[in-house]
Amino acid sequence: MPLFLKPIFHEKVWGGSKLKTFGYNIPNERIGECWGISAHPNGKSEIENGHYAGQTLDQVWREHRELFGEFPSKDFPLMAKIVDANAPLSIHVHPDDSYAYENENGQYGKSECWYIIEADDNAEITIGTHAQSREEFENQLKDGSFEKYLRTVKVQPGDFYFVPAGTVHSIGAGIMAYEVMQSSDISYRIYDYQRKLHNKKRELSVSKALDVMDYSNELPNIAPQNEVIENHNCTHIVSSDFFTMVKWEITGTLNYMKPREFCLISVLEGKGKIIVDGDIFELEKGTNFVLTSEDLDSVFEGDFTLIISYI
């Protein structure tokens, strides 16, 4: 039986109210993130259905690893969230696995991929810097010119960007994005516009950021692979060492065969149902769930857009 998950909401200084459009009952008008699928200590998704209802995803991961094909990892490896950037996020960077393991108590690093759901006219992201070295970036920080050397890209709905660990980045104002990432909540902020949350400035971590930043000035060359399967459009957005991310645009019936022991699935548009081993489960925009190793025969029916992710 699939594990359907209750969303977790995080207030952010840059957050807004657009997550309401997913049918979510958000607690206030400054919600920046919906953690749809998470076993991270900072936000543990609660299972809403079946035998494990009321338990958290991390608990089921620890106690019932057979549901995940006995996957050889201490922690649940992935996270899926929706970001509502009413204002720009901080300029920040994430460490890779080796740095995080050594400096953040054995945690995962964070590589991630963004799929742009909504974007205002002229909305843009920051991804990478033209600085060629740590020394050059430090000098730009000291003289206040570093923002001029950041790489910015205008975005529109349907775009996607792979953001490897070490890439300085930010999501700009007026963007809603779906993110798949390693299960990590480590961010090293470089600049935060002097903003305060609850009358307190958020902490910067410039020294660690400089340690982990990639100065190669190269962006990953991600070319989507589109194919039509059973009359449905399937787009392979990214396949990396950390995760694969696929968008399905389904109209009608799709007989789905899991590519791995377990998959993370989020509904971004539309509604329908999934029939798993004869049991019917309704799906709608904002639904998040995990297909487990025990879910053998899956059929999607309806008119909706899904993101399916897996190792």
The Cα–Cα gap between 226 and 49 comes to 34
How distant is the alpha carbon of residue 197 from its chain centre? 23
Look up residue 128 and give its two tokens.
């990478």
Instruction: Identify the residue whose tokens are 């490896």.
Output: 77
**Is residue 112 marked as binding?**
yes
Cβ contacts of 238 within 8 Å, gap of 6 or more: 113, 160, 162, 222, 244, 245
The verdict on whether residue 301 carries a ligand-binding annotation is no
* DSSP tally for the chain: helices H, then strands E: 4, 24
- DSSP E strands in 183-291: the ranges are 188-191, 196-197, 200-201, 225-229, 232-239, 244-256, 263-276, 279-284, 288-291
- Would you call 189 a catalytic residue per the annotation? yes
Question: What SS3 string covers 292-311?
Answer: CCCCCCEEEEEEEEEEEEEC
First to last CA, the chain: 20
Residue 70 — left, alpha, or beta (φ > 0 → left; ψ -120 to 50 → alpha)? left
Residue type, 174: G
Q: Which of 62, 65, 151, 189 is catalytic?
A: 189
Helix (H) or strand (E) holding 101: helix 97-103
- The closest alpha carbon to 60, from 52, 50, 72, belongs to 52
Summarize the annotated binding site as residue ranges: 94, 112, 169
Summarize the annotated binding site for Zn(2+) as residue ranges: 94, 112, 169
Q: Which residues are catalytic?
A: 189
